[in-house]
Chain A
Amino acid sequence: MTTARALQMPTGLRVANGAFVAFWLLLAIFPLFWILVMSFKIPVDSFSTNPLQVIFGFETRRTVGGLSFLDLALGIVVLIAAYRLVAQTIGKAAGYLSLGGQVWFGWILASVVYAIGLALVFGWLVPLVFGLVNTIFGVIPLLNALATPVVGLTTEHYRAVWIENEFHEQFLNSAVVTAGVVTISLTVGTLAGYGLARSGGSLAFWLLVVALVFRALPHSVLVSGYLPAFLNSREWLGPLWESGATGWFFGLFSDEPPTLFGKHLPVIIVLVSINQPFTIWMLRSFFQNIPRELDEAARVDGCSHFEAFRRVIIPVMWPGVITTGLFSFLLAYNDFLVTSLLLDAEAQTMVPAIAQFFNRETTATDQVEAIAAAVSITAPLFLLVMIFQKQIVSGLTAGAVKG
């Protein structure tokens, strides 16, 4: 798109504008960049007051080793290449992997494939190739300066977090909760959102207003309601198991009434419900942008409302569903309040686990390990934005923004 000459900025303004953007980018990335750097250094360097020592890790380089000029140069190239490759090809890959025309399946499969691919490249291929290149350059007389370490780097904290502290258990718990919330939330939400978009009645309006009020409720209010019921569920669920009419049915699942506290499924349902008001508002505005004529044509051809929804609407609703799904993902993955109050230590997800870990009295090494865990939690989110960036912006342009 070319801008009319009169609309173009004068040079002075353009420079100021560029400087502002650069300043904002620095502000946006700095805290994240800094914890990334800290997580790869031994504590002496991580908590040094000299910024150069934190970045270059003098002590780490002396005791453990680190990256050479070559590694850095190659690393930057690989990072940029990975970003471009993912940003540009994932849409196509998702289309290609949409077996049986199921676009959502294609996206999930593509995300998993890319995540595994990136983990393999950075965890295995990169160290291998870099090591090889460094050894080759190391024996060439003049170029061996390029292969000596300049920036200290250690991965011991990540090893401590993931292997010794068994962080993968919390990771799996988080994965279960997040996947459950996103799936159920979207299934229930799309149905309701479609119904609300296609019914202009007073009832639909009041439902949306009530949902708006529910959206505003602090989550702690709801948890104060759940907690006693969850802790005592064995008592009040008892009659269902004891009475003859329903006992045999519930007996199929467990011998006695379960304690809901500390289980994943109740927490998933709770998070889905908390997320429901936002989901139906957002999906409703997406469905309103899908022309009514589309499903009316299907109805004329003899489809029921459900058939019209399945055959005509589902194939065109994905941009909206992906954007809404992202917000559900963030809600479930980032949640601290609900999961820390309703799950016990065994079923704990990553975020409450790290907060507890951090608030203990700890040594400097433990602190750096907490930082490494924090970076580990952030990595999947990083990947998520990388993959879905285009969908977020275009999805918001298409739908929610007009609602």
Chain B
Amino acid sequence: MKFGTFARFVAPSLLLMTLFIAYPLLSVLWQSFHLTQGVFETATVETCSPGFGGQVCTEEVRRIPVLNDKGVPTTKTTFVGLDVYRSVLKPESVAAAFSDTGNGLRDVLNIDFYKALRFTVTFTFITLPLVVGLGLLIALAVNSIAARVRGPVIFVTLLPFIITPVIGALSVRWLFIGDGILTVALERILNRELALFAQGWTIEILILFYRVWHVAPFAFVIFYAGLQTINQDTMEAAVVDGASRFERLRYVVIPHLMPLILFITLIHLMDTYRVFEEIIGFSSQAHVISLQWLTFNYLTPNDAGTRLISSASATSMLTMIGIIILLIPVLRRTWRDHRVGG
């Protein structure tokens, strides 16, 4: 295909990605070094209390927003260097935590950013093997049940995957919150009172459970599709050679599925690193927060009605650094393949 034709085919998509992904990225980078604030002037105001005899007048110095000719408060954007990053990363508090009087890591993990980072990273790496393992297990199991019931089984299996994440999280939460049906069942088994939404680690387990439940069906579909393309001759040859069931799995099935396992791993790392909907669905912000939730929180208007765009941009940039570190192995591998493949 000639370059001109190629360019015309790709142009609309490229235009969208440049305007709405690449350009916002640059502007986020710019915003993270700048701070927009309302302009205030100090003025001396005299207020007098109403009264007949002696009026009491007080003078006080107040800060009043400067209005422009349309009556809208003016704002000024200034370059602040790394100040915004400093307000997010709080290096002084970290230093204080590790000083003689501090509590070390425990104090650091109470700072919002580190708390979110800790949860996001552990969550990503704990769910990964669980999702791949469960997906593979379901795929192998479904692949060996009678063909007649496979249709309905696949239908039910796909349901947790297609359900809206916020709704899925809510539906799991309704089972456990307060005197939820499963909390009561657990209390009866363990013979003790439980409050699963009162501390961080129980919520984390629920979020973990929810995420595996939600994503395993996607891994299942991909693996199941992969299992349909296994070469039956190789399978039979393995049987003739006396390979046991486990050996066939180990030396025929898994190598065949290896590219798909890598594919799932990649997609899972990307998606889980931006964990967010669970925090909303479980309303866990008091105990458990994630990096993306932190940005979301800065972007929603606070009590004073302002959006902390600069702080949001700074956390965004820090989140991005994390995702790039995660992606480096994949990108290097792709680059090697490309150079070899030519």
Chain A interface residues (CB < 8 Å from chain B)? 1, 4, 6-7, 9, 13-14, 17-18, 20-21, 24-25, 27-32, 34-35, 38, 47, 49, 51, 54, 83, 87, 188-189, 191-192, 194-196, 198-199, 201, 203-205, 207, 209-229, 269-270, 272-274, 276-277, 280, 305, 330, 333-334, 336-337, 341, 351, 354-355, 358-359, 370-371, 374, 377-378, 381-382, 384-386, 389, 392-393, 396-397, 400-401
CB-CB under 8 A from B340, the residues of chain A are: none
Query: Is B141 within 8 A of A17, CB to CB?
Result: yes
Looking at the assembled complex, report how far the CB atom of A249 sits from the nearest CB atom of chain B, in whole angstroms.
19
B276 within 8 A of A: yes
Query: Is B168 within 8 A of A204, CB to CB?
Result: no
CB-CB under 8 A from A270, the residues of chain B are: 20
A394 and B298 alpha carbons, distance in the complex (Å): 43
CB-CB under 8 A from A28, the residues of chain B are: 156-157, 159-160, 213, 217
A17 and B140 alpha carbons, distance in the complex (Å): 9
Query: Is B309 within 8 A of A228, CB to CB?
Result: yes
Chain B interface residues (CB < 8 Å from chain A)? 1, 3, 5-6, 8-10, 12-14, 16-17, 19-25, 27-28, 31, 137-138, 141-142, 144-145, 147, 151-160, 162-168, 170-172, 174-175, 179, 181, 184-185, 213, 217, 221-222, 224-226, 228-229, 235-236, 239, 245, 260, 263, 270, 273-274, 276-277, 280-281, 283, 291-292, 295-296, 298-300, 307, 309, 312-313, 316-317, 319-320, 323-324, 326-327, 330-331, 334-335, 338
Query: Is A199 within 8 A of B225, CB to CB?
Result: no
Query: Is B270 within 8 A of A215, CB to CB?
Result: yes
In the complex formed, the residue of B with least CB distance to A1 is B147
Query: Is A209 within 8 A of B157, CB to CB?
Result: no
Q: List 9 A-B contacts (CB under 8 A).
A: A21-B142, A209-B334, A212-B331, A218-B274, A220-B295, A224-B31, A225-B27, A229-B27, A276-B21
Given contacts A21-B145, A214-B17, A397-B225, whether A354 and B167 have CB atoms under 8 Å apart is yes
A305 and B20 alpha carbons, distance in the complex (Å): 28
Query: Is A385 within 8 A of B158, CB to CB?
Result: yes
A382 and B31 alpha carbons, distance in the complex (Å): 42
A270 and B24 alpha carbons, distance in the complex (Å): 11
CB-CB under 8 A from A35, the residues of chain B are: 170-171, 174
Query: Is A32 within 8 A of B171, CB to CB?
Result: yes
A20 and B133 alpha carbons, distance in the complex (Å): 14
Looking at the assembled complex, report how far the CB atom of B21 sits from the nearest CB atom of chain A, in whole angstroms.
5
CB-CB under 8 A from B239, the residues of chain A are: 4, 6-7
A106 and B320 alpha carbons, distance in the complex (Å): 42
Other than A224-B24, A341-B300, give 6 A-B pairs with Cβ distance below 8 A. A1-B147, A20-B141, A211-B17, A224-B298, A351-B166, A385-B158
Contact of B320 among A217, A370, A371 (CB under 8 A): A217
A211 and B105 alpha carbons, distance in the complex (Å): 37
Shortest beta-carbon contacts, A-B, top 3: A225-B24, A195-B9, A273-B20
Query: Is B144 within 8 A of A9, CB to CB?
Result: yes
Given contacts A199-B6, A276-B17, whether A336 and B166 have CB atoms under 8 Å apart is yes
Query: Is B270 within 8 A of A216, CB to CB?
Result: yes
Query: Is B151 within 8 A of A224, CB to CB?
Result: no
In the complex formed, the residue of B with least CB distance to A218 is B274
Query: Is A226 within 8 A of B24, CB to CB?
Result: yes
CB-CB under 8 A from B185, the residues of chain A are: 51
Given contacts A218-B292, A396-B222, whether A334 and B1 have CB atoms under 8 Å apart is no
